[in-house]
Structure 1
Amino acid sequence: MRDTLFVDGPAGQLQVQLTEPGASPGALAIICHPHPLHGGTLDNKVVHQLAKSFVESGAVSVRFNFRGVGKSEGVYDDGRGEKADLLAVVAWAKARWPGLPLWLAGFSFGGFIALEAAQSLKPDWLVTVAPAVNYFPDQPVALSDINWLLIHGDADDIVPWSAVDAWLAQQALVPEIVCVEGAGHFFHGRLNDLRNIVLRAAPTT
């Protein structure tokens, strides 16, 4: 079952699309889309595949448009406001489905936002796909004791694997890393590989 609705955000209403599994959900998965100024929306193919994979794993999936994207109100805020948007969606979703484990995910710019928010949200599972680590300052991200899966393509020409590898070397927390041979940034032709990786790694719900 898929529903589109609107949630109050810090800069106005946020467009949200949720998909529930056939049975009662065993987790709450919230997914962040790529850069708003470069065509990123909740309908991005990688974001959509993550949502489908989470539902297949027994979670309710929640995708949303950052401020200024689609029918979400507000304007782009260089990551700061977008993190606040995510926190608002998480608060709404946790009130709607109380007590469920929180899965937090993001692709590219959305991966950066998910990583930023994970430091305070402490999700039960964090999934970042080709996270845009170039948005981070030099200091490490303060993550600890989080189940973190990082998926990347070794042919990514937008966020090169070498940059991610160098960034990871600064981190105290080492994620489970799956580097997909031959996959580019948008995983063209490799979305089934992405699905299979998520399904294999998903916590039991």
Structure 2
Amino acid sequence: MVQPVFPVASETLLLNGPAGALEVAVDYPEPVEARPLVAVVCHPLPTEGGTMHNKVVTMVARALRELGATTVRFNFRGTGQSAGEFDHGNGEREDLRTVVSWVRAARPDDALWLAGFSFGAYVSLSAAAELQPDALISVAPPASGRGWDFGPLEIPEVPWLVVQGDADEIVDPQAVYDWIDSLPRKPQLVRMVDTSHFFHRKLIDLRGAIQHEVKAWLPPA
């Protein structure tokens, strides 16, 4: 399957995905020098209005671009200009696999990070063992049930950050902390006080938390 060329400047384009077109937004870092790093960021639940334009997703991407990463956001199947229908995480993993394969074919020498918010965190974590990213960032991972089984997830031994709001009204924060406590290898955990699921009035704090925690992981510019 022939894919479009990876753009040389920030651009939104369509890939050939497993269910048809996949809408992808590539954004280059500015004003800092680019690092050999591409971060793919996954969005929250499409059936609840989640898209690659979600404000938490765009802030995660912005935080990483300000550190020199090129970011790739994309709409899961059935969202925005992406073809297909919601597939409860299974087809969405295939969508992520397609995006990662495209990135790695175009930028084989770059580090690849996977990030995700809410449902996007579940998709990225559930694909991590197969895709073997160089780092993981999970914002409000839905470990409190809601149909997403975190029990069998295999997390590769790479740097991993979890950011969770203590006042999350959608994902039970204690369920997230209990899940982390059950893991043989635990992530770096940032607990944000008085913070809701969508980080209302806390987006700048989220940016700062991500940048502070992941700076040590960055490849040299």
Q: TM-score range by the shorter chain?
A: over 0.9
Q: What is the aligned counterpart of 1:10 among 1, 18, 22?
A: 18
Which structure 1 segments of 5+ residues have no match? none
1:99-155, Cα deviation, whole Å (9 max, x unpaired): 111110000000000110111112111000001122443634222412100000000
Query: What is the distance in 2 between the residues matched to 1:71 and 1:61?
Result: 19
Structure 2 residue aligned with 1:82: 92
* Counterpart residue number, 1:137: 149
Give the equivalent residue in structure 2 for 1:152. 164
Q: 2:210 pairs with 171, 174, 198, which one?
A: 198
**3-state SS of the aligned residue for 2:197?**
coil
Distance 1:191-1:144 versus aligned 2 partners, 3 A rule: same
CA contact (8 A) 2:128 2:156 kept: no
Q: Which residue of 1 aligns with 2:110?
A: 100
d(CA) in 1 for partners of 2:24, 2:153: 28
Higher deviation after alignment, 60-69 or 141-150: 141-150
Instruction: Provide the rounded CA distance (Å) in 2 between the counterparts of 1:95 and 1:17.
Output: 17
The answer on whether the counterparts of 1:141 and 1:171 sit within 8 Å (CA) in structure 2 is no
Q: Counterparts of 1:168 and 1:71 in 2: how far apart (Å)?
A: 35
Give the aligned partner of residue 180 of structure 1. 192
Cα separation, partners in 2 of 1:89 and 1:114, compared to 1, 3 Å: same
* Residue identity opposite 1:77 in structure 2: D
**Distance (Å, rounded) in 2 between the aligned partners of 1:123 and 1:138:** 18
Shift of 1:24: 3.6
Task: Indicate the residue corresponding to 1:124 in structure 2.
Answer: 134
Alignment-derived partner of residue 45 in structure 1 = 55
- The one-letter amino acid paired with 1:19 is D
Look up the equivalent residue of 1:93 and give its one-letter code.
V
Are 1:28 and 1:60, in contact at CA under 8 Å, matched by a contact in 2?
yes
What is the deviation of 1:172? 1.8
* Corresponding pairs, count: 205
Task: For residue 169 of structure 1, report the CA deviation from its aligned partner.
Answer: 2.6
Contact 1:30/1:104 (8 A) holds in 2: yes
Change (3 A) 1:166 1:5: same
5+ residue gaps, structure 2: 1-8
CA RMSD, Structure 1 to Structure 2 (Å): 1.3
Aligned to 1:58: 68
Question: Counterpart in 1 of 2:5?
Answer: none
Deviation sequence 1:43-93 (CA, Å, 0-9, x none) = 000000011111111110000000000000011111000011001000011
Corresponding residue number in structure 1 for 2:4: none
| Identity, % of aligned positions | 42
Change (3 A) 1:139 1:160: closer
Amino acid aligned to 1:151: V
Secondary structure of residue in 1 paired with 2:163? strand
Contact 1:53 1:199 in 2 (8 A): yes
- Do the aligned residues in 2 keep the contact of 1:150 with 1:176 (CA within 8 Å)? yes
